[in-house]
A and B are shown apart, each in its own frame.
Chain A
Amino acid sequence: MPRPLQLRRAVLSLLTLGATGVLAHYYPRLAACFPHIVYLSGWLLLALCLGLTAYNLRKKLPFLPLLSSRVWLQFHAYAGLFAGVLFIFHLRFSIPGGAFNLVLAALFLAVTLSGIGGWWLSRVIPRRLTSAGGEVPFERIPVIRRDIRLQAEKITLAAIPEAKSTTLADFYVRELAPAFAARPSFFRHLLGSRAALNDRLAALSEAGRYLAPAEQTRAEQIADLLRARHALDFHHANQLLLKSWLFVHLPLTYALLVFTAVHVLLVHAYSGGAR
């Protein structure tokens, strides 16, 4: 027996495919005998866009029984895809003329692509975060980063009286303190690069030959902190990406709605009674 999610996915996929099929079959025929069908497809597109935007409103009303967010998102994804197909028909498979319409089309494309991109990120990044381990709430990351730095400094300072030497402390100040204090590299961690970590661990290991035994123990603790910091930065970069793609998708959506409203006004104002 299919599971509820699979069933929903299958039904929505079939509906989207069916609607696309109906559109592909009838739109050219209707367009031949009903030249103003572009108005109909335009209004349908607007209704779809408003329906898709209503998902954000649903999120603001969690206390109302307005179906679960997962159902909304699924509808949002499939309806968004269908809107993309309808948009191509609405454009009559051609690049729109005029700067305004070009911007409007570009906005539509950007919203659709950012939506698809966001969906892809929401499927890929959670698994990466889970595999990396060290789950941490995003808001806590700066605090934990500071704690790691303070802990590293404490360990380094503790090594001085233990070993009666400042070799580790000097190395820390020269090589590691900037790394612990630095802001994380966003793109490097998105790409999953461990090069910086490996370089620092190698440098620490290299310094190990000049360290007293007591310092070597402390150096191992610092190496653990370097790894912890790396894991934290990995979480920061990936969680930041997960959170920030919406800051692309949403403003584009609202810009699209504004341009669409103007587009509707312009079309109806200058249609000359053609509608």
Chain B
Amino acid sequence: MSTVASLDRPRRWDAPFDPEFPAADIERLLAIAPFRAMNPESFPRSATLPDILRNDTAIRTFQADELIVREGDYGTSAFLILKGRARVVLSPGLPPSAVGRKERGKKSLLRSLAQLWSNPREDEVIARRRQEAEPSRSVFLQDVPRVLGEHKTAAMHAGDFFGEIAALSRMPRTATIFAEEQGTQLLEIRWQGLRDLLKYDPALRAHVDTIYRQRALASYLQEIPFLRHLEPEARAAVEAATQFETYGDYDWSGEYKKLVQAGAAAVAKETTIAAEGDYPNGIVMVRSGFARLTQRHGAGHRTLNYLGAGRVYGFDEIVHNWKNPGAAIALQHSLRVIGHTHVLTIPAAVIERHVLPGLPANQLPPPIIIPGESSNARTPPPQAKSRPTEAATDSALMEFLTQNRLFNGTESMVIDLDRCTRCDDCVRACASTHGGNPRFLRHGPIHDHLMVAQACMHCADPICMIGCPTGAIHRDSFGGEVVINADTCIGCTACANNCPYGSIRMVETRDEDGEPLVAKDQKPLLKATKCDLCLDQIGGPACVRACPHDALDRLDLNTLDPLTAWLNRR
């Protein structure tokens, strides 16, 4: 007779950040800033301030020169310095070798082969045991005096917050920070705890927002080519004049689903950052998220491109007007919000005064030619000019990628249906490497002969992570791939519901005897599953290697170049 294993349903704090967090430290933390100023009444009973501190924080002690965070790592926690001093390496950043960045370990050849007989007979078998925490391996910065001499650094003291950019924006760490004093003590707050603290304490939210914006601005402006040549005074003037704006919902999944229902009318429903035909009052730089570049076409709007982080809008028109004050032109395209988009705006007057006079000629954009003036042809859209291959991408494909928000994917599974024989070798390979159950569906939106399959795209903006109460879904610290820790996944379905692409599937779990696992309420215990890009497999994604007809690949759709090259690969 079959028996059904009945277990306690996993809950948010089953796996505290620090299982041995001393109760006395809660009192100590509640007595210091910023927690002292927080109103405990503003927190709900399900997530009280002491509960958050007890379960979502950990006190870490670092030795002198020990690395706390490394530039480029994907981190999901922020830090508050409790005692001692830390130092941030501002510029130039330290090379990966100096900070001991290493790729995630892969299975050995023998362990890979052992999958032939060691895969469980039943699908989705989980051993209900918590993963032993890996012993932390400290990395120490070598030759600190040389680092201090060769790199611009800044000291951080007790009470300073850092790491919140990576934790909140789902982006890699922007700087390396190491402990400067022996015994530097920090409070590490995992992001879901930080999210709750920010949600229920407006003062902390305002404080973190301010420092987040300051730090994001300083590091971001360095990355814009035409701002690199600025003298310190001009840079300060530009920084002071830069305005921050955030559009769209932080969790834009619901908004997107509504827009999908709107169909072709979706473009008109999108918020406009800057409108075609308006006078160019400033340049807009996309800090994170995406924006759609459109142009009026008949009674509608044609998508010309989508702009991701680091792309600039309006610069060409401002340069044109600066060089031709008597023949000023309006903005040639509209910029519309898609998803959750941070933008920085620098007023045109500041650009004209501080940036353009000293800008080397080779950094000036090509002139805009207005039809009927000096030429019959209009220049292509500014973003397309620097990317000749993008010009070859047809407008319908652009609409397809934008309408379905597919540009968000950094490892999207694309299938050439003209070559795909529907043999499902990719699906079988995925199942073989994932305990018998494939992690994707060979099905998804189609444009012409291009299908973007329902496989995790490892998004640039992984909004699936937003609602996860335990942080089970997270970015791999080395490559930034979005992965799920099966040991801390409580099967709450938040990530699956939030994923706009339907790429996360909830599956029923079984014990090692193949019996279904159920909670005490007799409902099945679920876990979230999705493509992990075969991070632990020695050969890389099995789906790509298994395709006999060169029909399947994983591509970064944040820009169009890889897709255009792939579509023209033969």
A residues whose Cβ falls under 8 Å from a Cβ of B: 3-6, 59, 61-66, 68-70, 72-73, 121-122, 125-127, 129-130, 135, 137-138, 239, 242-243
A242 CB contacts on chain B under 8 angstroms: 421-423
A135 CB contacts on chain B under 8 angstroms: 417, 443, 446, 451
B429's closest neighbor in chain A, by CB?
A62
A64 CB contacts on chain B under 8 angstroms: 109, 112-113, 538-539
Top 3 A-B pairs, shortest CB-CB distance? A62-B429, A65-B539, A73-B548
With A3-B569, A73-B549, A137-B442 in contact, is A65–B422 under 8 Å at CB? no
B550 lies within 8 A of chain A by Cβ: yes
B52 lies within 8 A of chain A by Cβ: no
A125's closest neighbor in chain B, by CB?
B421
Query: Is the pair A62, B549 in contact by a Cβ cutoff of 8 Å?
Result: no
B418 lies within 8 A of chain A by Cβ: yes
Q: Quote the shortest CB–CB distance from B568 to chain A (angstroms).
A: 8
B441 CB contacts on chain A under 8 angstroms: 137
Query: Is the pair B548, A63 in contact by a Cβ cutoff of 8 Å?
Result: no
B126 lies within 8 A of chain A by Cβ: no
A66 CB contacts on chain B under 8 angstroms: 539
A138 CB contacts on chain B under 8 angstroms: 422
B548 CB contacts on chain A under 8 angstroms: 69-70, 72-73
B417 CB contacts on chain A under 8 angstroms: 126, 129-130, 135
The 8 Å CB contact of B433, one of A62, A68, A126, A243, is A62
Can you pick out 27 interface pairs between chain A and chain B where the beta carbons lie within 8 Å of each other?
A5-B550, A6-B570, A59-B425, A59-B428, A61-B113, A61-B116, A62-B542, A63-B107, A63-B113, A63-B538, A64-B109, A64-B113, A66-B539, A68-B545, A68-B546, A69-B425, A69-B545, A70-B550, A127-B449, A129-B422, A135-B417, A135-B451, A137-B441, A137-B443, A242-B421, A243-B422, A243-B423
* A contact patch SS: helix
Q: Quote the shortest CB–CB distance from B517 to chain A (angstroms).
A: 26
With A3-B570, A70-B550 in contact, is A63–B421 under 8 Å at CB? no
Q: Quote the shortest CB–CB distance from A69 to chain B (angstroms).
A: 4
With A6-B570, A63-B112 in contact, is A130–B418 under 8 Å at CB? yes
A5 CB contacts on chain B under 8 angstroms: 550, 569-570
Query: Is the pair B421, A122 in contact by a Cβ cutoff of 8 Å?
Result: yes
A62 CB contacts on chain B under 8 angstroms: 428-429, 432-433, 542, 545-546
Q: Quote the shortest CB–CB distance from A119 to chain B (angstroms).
A: 10
8 Å CB contacts to A: which residues of B224-254? none
The 8 Å CB contact of B418, one of A68, A70, A127, is A127
A4's closest neighbor in chain B, by CB?
B569
In whole angstroms, how far apart are the Cα atoms of A59 and B425 in the complex? 8
Query: Is the pair A59, B546 in contact by a Cβ cutoff of 8 Å?
Result: yes
* B contact patch SS: loop
B544 lies within 8 A of chain A by Cβ: yes
Q: Quote the shortest CB–CB distance from A128 to chain B (angstroms).
A: 10
Mark B186-205 against chain A: 1 for CB-CB distance below 8 A, else 0: 00000000000000000000
**Residue among B115, B433, B451, B539 with the highest chain A CB neighbour number at 10 A:** B539
Q: Quote the shortest CB–CB distance from B427 to chain A (angstroms).
A: 9
B425 CB contacts on chain A under 8 angstroms: 59, 69
A239 CB contacts on chain B under 8 angstroms: 422
In whole angstroms, how far apart are the Cα atoms of A69 and B428 in the complex? 13
B549 CB contacts on chain A under 8 angstroms: 70, 73, 122, 126
A64's closest neighbor in chain B, by CB?
B112
Q: Quote the shortest CB–CB distance from B562 to chain A (angstroms).
A: 14
Q: Quote the shortest CB–CB distance from B116 to chain A (angstroms).
A: 7
B88 lies within 8 A of chain A by Cβ: no
8 Å CB contacts to A: which residues of B405-456? 417-423, 425, 428-429, 432-433, 441-443, 446, 448-449, 451
B551 CB contacts on chain A under 8 angstroms: 126
With A69-B425, A130-B418, A137-B443 in contact, is A63–B550 under 8 Å at CB? no
**Residue among B116, B421, B433, B451 with the highest chain A CB neighbour number at 10 A:** B421
8 Å CB contacts to A: which residues of B439-491? 441-443, 446, 448-449, 451
Q: Quote the shortest CB–CB distance from A143 to chain B (angstroms).
A: 13
B545 CB contacts on chain A under 8 angstroms: 62, 68-69
Q: Quote the shortest CB–CB distance from B299 to chain A (angstroms).
A: 27
Q: Quote the shortest CB–CB distance from B455 to chain A (angstroms).
A: 14
Q: Quote the shortest CB–CB distance from B60 to chain A (angstroms).
A: 37
Beyond contacts A122-B549, A135-B417: 9 other A-B pairs, Cβ-Cβ < 8 A, are A5-B570, A62-B429, A68-B544, A68-B546, A70-B547, A127-B418, A130-B449, A137-B441, A138-B422
In whole angstroms, how far apart are the Cα atoms of A59 and B427 in the complex? 12
A130's closest neighbor in chain B, by CB?
B417
Mark B520-557 against chain A: 1 for CB-CB distance below 8 A, else 0: 00000000000000000111001011111111000000
A76's closest neighbor in chain B, by CB?
B548
8 Å CB contacts to A: which residues of B106-163? 107, 109, 112-113, 115-116
B442's closest neighbor in chain A, by CB?
A137
Q: Quote the shortest CB–CB distance from B89 to chain A (angstroms).
A: 37
B539 CB contacts on chain A under 8 angstroms: 63-66
With A59-B425, A62-B542, A135-B451 in contact, is A126–B109 under 8 Å at CB? no
Query: Is the pair B422, A63 in contact by a Cβ cutoff of 8 Å?
Result: no
Query: Is the pair B569, A63 in contact by a Cβ cutoff of 8 Å?
Result: no
B431's closest neighbor in chain A, by CB?
A62
A137 CB contacts on chain B under 8 angstroms: 422, 441-443
In whole angstroms, how far apart are the Cα atoms of A137 and B442 in the complex? 8
Query: Is the pair A69, B546 in contact by a Cβ cutoff of 8 Å?
Result: yes
With A65-B539, A73-B549 in contact, is A126–B419 under 8 Å at CB? yes
In whole angstroms, how far apart are the Cα atoms of A275 and B446 in the complex? 60
Q: Quote the shortest CB–CB distance from A216 to chain B (angstroms).
A: 27
Q: Quote the shortest CB–CB distance from A52 to chain B (angstroms).
A: 14
B443 CB contacts on chain A under 8 angstroms: 135, 137
Query: Is the pair B537, A63 in contact by a Cβ cutoff of 8 Å?
Result: yes
Q: Quote the shortest CB–CB distance from A5 to chain B (angstroms).
A: 5
In whole angstroms, how far apart are the Cα atoms of A61 and B428 in the complex? 10
B451's closest neighbor in chain A, by CB?
A135
A8's closest neighbor in chain B, by CB?
B550
B109 CB contacts on chain A under 8 angstroms: 64
In whole angstroms, how far apart are the Cα atoms of A62 and B423 in the complex? 15
B546 CB contacts on chain A under 8 angstroms: 59, 62, 68-69
A121 CB contacts on chain B under 8 angstroms: 421
The 8 Å CB contact of B115, one of A59, A63, A68, A243, is A63
B107's closest neighbor in chain A, by CB?
A63
B449 CB contacts on chain A under 8 angstroms: 127, 130
B429 CB contacts on chain A under 8 angstroms: 62-63
In whole angstroms, how far apart are the Cα atoms of A4 and B569 in the complex? 8
In whole angstroms, how far apart are the Cα atoms of A66 and B570 in the complex? 24
8 Å CB contacts to A: which residues of B375-420? 417-420
With A70-B550, A72-B548, A137-B442 in contact, is A63–B419 under 8 Å at CB? no
**Residue among A62, A68, A69, A242 with the highest chain B CB neighbour number at 10 A:** A62
In whole angstroms, how far apart are the Cα atoms of A121 and B451 in the complex? 20
With A69-B425, A126-B418 in contact, is A63–B547 under 8 Å at CB? no
**Residue among A61, A121, A239, A243 with the highest chain B CB neighbour number at 10 A:** A61
A5's closest neighbor in chain B, by CB?
B570
B544 CB contacts on chain A under 8 angstroms: 68
A66's closest neighbor in chain B, by CB?
B539
Q: Quote the shortest CB–CB distance from A88 to chain B (angstroms).
A: 27
In whole angstroms, how far apart are the Cα atoms of A16 and B420 in the complex? 26
A9's closest neighbor in chain B, by CB?
B570
Q: Quote the shortest CB–CB distance from A30 to chain B (angstroms).
A: 36
In whole angstroms, how far apart are the Cα atoms of A102 and B443 in the complex? 46
